[in-house]
Structure 1
Amino acid sequence: MADRRYRAAEAAALRVEPLGELTAIFDRRSMQTHLVVAPMPEILAALASSPCNAATLAARLADRFDLDGEGDATAILAARLAELAAMGLVEPA
């Protein structure tokens, strides 16, 4: 599923508050609060500009997280995208 494209929820739907190492994300649509760690908030921010798949996301995040943009990074980001989708914070594009 690494080639599946995802889009982030609309910015107005989420309230994102950094709490030290954690980030609280309140989803106004579901009224749920999610506590996440990096790179989840960074993934949401990277998806804000336009939908993408895990490989494109790895390229967007490569400089910030010293990723190679291929292989393991893409597989790991595909798994994180699936987790964010399960939480309802991203959806297939």
Structure 2
Amino acid sequence: MKVLGIDVGGSGIKGAPVDIKTGDLLGERYRIPTPKAAKPKPIVQTITEMVKHFDWGGPIGCGFPAVIQHGVARSAANIDNSWIGQNVEELLGE
């Protein structure tokens, strides 16, 4: 099975198709600089741009710099504190 793996980092948001059985990248890694204001709306827009870049319609896995409990961010590292309390699962599911 393959998924689009996305890593949200403090300086860049990276993505590539990944074979989840082997962990191998199945294509070129693509990087977009993390928006200066790493608030929810600009980050979600950048992730959407990443998905469009790969013309992806399948499952997505996302590494996110926060503690997530039941879909809600409980901390924020290298992103804006406005993420705390946001339902990340809903925001990224849109």
TM-score after normalising by structure 2: 0.32
User: As a proportion of its length, which structure holds more helix?
Assistant: 1
Higher RCO by CA contacts (8 Å cutoff, separation 6 or greater) = 1
